[in-house]
Amino acid sequence: MTLPHDAPTAVELLTAVREWMERDLFPIIDGRLQFHTRVAMNILDLVGREIELGPEQEKEHLATLAELRMNSDSELAAAIRGGSFDSELGRLLEVLRPSIENKLKVSNPRYLRD
């Protein structure tokens, strides 16, 4: 929860809406509407994870960019395309792996399960 906001938190509100959709709405609909409801539920989950994990992940990603001597993702992408990291691809992948895993923790954490 962020000041000055009181309970429930944004994540709690998202969770409540998602639970209502799953418990009360999803069982009484079918077909296309059920598919779109499932998509909406997944979006609510994703937004909740981004709210919870995003601030710390942003700090970590900025530290990663700084370690690579880059100021932004665009600059990093241009440097990669331009061949600046060709001689150290192993190191680049090692440094970027936590950022990639963080993206998956928000977008779809199931991809990280063994």
Handedness of CA 61, 103, 110, 94 (dihedral sign): negative
**DSSP symbols for 51-75:** HHHHHHHHHHHHHHHHHTT-SSHHH
Max Cα separation, the chain? 57
Alpha helices in the chain (DSSP H): 10-20, 31-67, 73-81, 89-107
The structure tokens listed for 1 are 């929860």
Q: Which amino acid, 109?
A: P
Cis before 4? omega within 30: yes
Q: pTM, whole model, 2 decimals?
A: 0.83
Q: Each residue's pLDDT tens digit in the chain (114 positions)?
A: 666 778 899 999 999 999 999 999 999 999 999 999 999 999 999 999 999 999 999 999 999 999 999 999 999 999 999 999 999 999 999 999 999 999 999 999 999 986
Instruction: Give the per-residue pLDDT at 44.
Output: 97
